[in-house]
Amino acid sequence: MNLPERLRYARDRLGLKGPQVSEKTGVGTSSLSEFENGKREPSLAQLQRLAAAYGRSLSFFLEEGPIPRELVLWREKPAEAAEKVQARFLRLCEQYHNLEVWTEDEVPVFLPPAQGEADRYGYRHAETLARQVRKQLELGDRPALSLLPVLEEVCGIKVFHLDFEPTGAAASARSDTFGAGILLNAANVRWRRNFDLAHELFHLLTWDIFREPVANGATSSCATEDEERLAQCFAVNLLMPSEAVRIALNRKVKDGGLPFEDLFDVARQFDVSVEAMLWRMHNLHMLSDDADKTKALIERAKSLSPVLEERGQARPETSPERYKSLAVKALRHGAISVGRLAEYLDITRKKAMTYVRPEAAEDEAIPLTPA
């Protein structure tokens, strides 16, 4: 068992010093040093406190073999407590994986393969990839409406929402253990999160093109400006297919112009921001080639948003519905305790107890007619 190495690794990932860990856990600095140097092992109670402080599962420290490779790619790292946000994201992804294993309901990561070389990958490649993904995942002409559930239920991507600054930041991750994950900002409106989701999807699709293999242990990095521009190009082409956008807009044209209220309606149909729709129109040459004029239209649209923006802005839950469903299923199958359910769902033990009552016998099933 490489417990000392895993203890050092988990502490280093959060940038914590011995005294800070001691204050959080009550484990003395001398004891912590002995644990990390392999001179003696912590008790189960001490290890549980250390695991909680590091945002890791107990099983992470007890597993054999090398530390799983994990890489988190940030668009822009959070301004405050970046390592804490990252640790929670990875912990949630790990918990999601545990629930899949315990319920024997794993969804393997499936992503359409991207081809190319980093130094030759350009906008044409990003546009072509967007069309391929839209077709292979059967996202239709309004991809934003189905992208999130398809990525979660079909592609096996673990998507979570947390609060952090700046709000324009988002992240994607790959791991030997849990596969792939995406972290979105819960403070953003849904149509902004849609764009961020598509943006991070590009990074997962092109991971092997732009990412160098990393050594054992988690690490993080930020994408280059060129890669970010390609991700933006991919997101625009995925969420707003050129032909579908033209058709939707042309249906609204009146006397050679497009009323602002209809512009907002089309943006709502595609579930993107009005600003994104105007830039898409600009790049499709449906507006003047003068970028300053498009910027002026965007400012006018922003001023009209309080009156014309008729979309709900419900705040997303931290964890997806499938994650919650797996947790309850694990409880009812005896794979986890009520306390573990409360921990995974971040609810009180009293609330967790409400899921104990069975709704159906374990062996009850719906009979199907043979095909």
Distance CA 141, CA 292 (A): 29
Q: Nearest Cα to 342, choosing from 333, 351, 334?
A: 351
One domain for residues 248 and 223? no
One domain for residues 119 and 191? yes
**Is 365 contained in some domain?**
no
Q: What average pLDDT score do residues 297-308 get?
A: 94
Count of structural domains, the chain: 4
Predicted pLDDT of residue 304: 94
Per residue in 223-268, pLDDT tens? 899 999 999 999 999 999 999 999 999 999 998 899 999 999 999 9
Q: Which amino acid is at 348?
A: T
One domain for residues 111 and 222? yes
Chain-centroid distance of CA 54 in Å reads 21
Q: Nearest Cα to 143, choosing from 185, 183, 197?
A: 197
Task: Answer with the one of 238, 269, 296 that is the final residue of a domain.
Answer: 238
143: which DSSP letter? G
Q: Which amino acid is at 108?
A: P
One domain for residues 187 and 132? yes
Q: Are 224 and 211 a contacting pair, CB within 8 Å?
A: no
Would you state the structure tokens that stand for residue 65, as one six-digit string?
A: 């073999």
Distance CA 193, CA 126 (A): 20
How would you list the strands of the sheet with 179-185, edge to edge?
157-162, 179-185, 171-175, 70-74, 218-222
Per residue in 75-116, pLDDT tens? 988 887 888 898 899 999 999 999 999 999 999 999 988 999
One domain for residues 173 and 275? no
Task: Answer with the one of 66, 94, 121 that is the final residue of a domain.
Answer: 66
Task: For residue 311, give every residue at least 6 positions away whose Cβ sits within 8 Å of its Cβ, in sequence order, or none.
Answer: 189, 190, 191, 268
Task: Say yes or no to pLDDT of 218 above 60.
Answer: no
Distance CA 217, CA 13 (A): 9
The band of 59, judged by pLDDT with boundaries at 50, 70 and 90, is: confident
**Is 217 contained in some domain?**
yes
One domain for residues 42 and 175? no
One domain for residues 147 and 222? yes
Task: Say yes or no to pLDDT of 358 above 70.
Answer: no
Task: Answer with the one of 238, 268, 288 that is the final residue of a domain.
Answer: 238
One domain for residues 144 and 213? yes
Q: What average pLDDT score do residues 155-181 get?
A: 93
Range of the domain at 126: 73-78+86-238
**Is 364 contained in some domain?**
no
**Is 120 contained in some domain?**
yes
Task: Say yes or no to pLDDT of 292 above 60.
Answer: yes
One domain for residues 134 and 210? yes
One domain for residues 12 and 101? no
**Is 316 contained in some domain?**
no
Query: Which residue is it, tokens 């929670």?
Result: 88
Task: Say yes or no to pLDDT of 357 above 80.
Answer: no
Q: What are phi and psi of 227, to 5 degrees?
A: -65, -35
Predicted pLDDT of residue 40: 92
**Is 358 contained in some domain?**
no
CATH code, domain with 134: 1.10.10.2910
**Is 370 contained in some domain?**
no
Q: Per DSSP, what are the bridge partners of residue 71?
A: 174, 219
Q: What average pLDDT score do residues 14-37 get?
A: 90
Comparing 265 with 357, the larger pLDDT belongs to 265
Q: What percent of the chain has pLDDT above 70?
A: 96
Q: Which parts of the chain fold into alpha helices (H)?
A: 3-13, 18-25, 29-36, 44-54, 58-62, 82-102, 123-136, 147-153, 190-205, 207-210, 225-239, 242-250, 260-270, 274-283, 291-308, 321-332, 338-345, 349-353
One domain for residues 251 and 278? yes
**Is 314 contained in some domain?**
no
Q: What average pLDDT score do residues 8-14 get?
A: 84
Task: Say yes or no to pLDDT of 166 above 70.
Answer: yes
Distance CA 46, CA 204 (A): 37
One domain for residues 191 and 118? yes
Q: Are 62 and 1 a contacting pair, CB within 8 Å?
A: yes
Would you state the structure tokens that stand for residue 266, as one six-digit string?
A: 């089309």
CATH code, domain with 10: 1.10.260.40
Q: Nearest Cα to 152, choosing from 208, 201, 90, 209?
A: 201
Q: What are phi and psi of 358, to 5 degrees?
A: -75, 145
Burial of 364 (0-12, 13-18, 19+ CB in 10 A): exposed
Q: Nearest Cα to 283, choosing from 224, 236, 219?
A: 236
Distance CA 69, CA 25 (A): 26
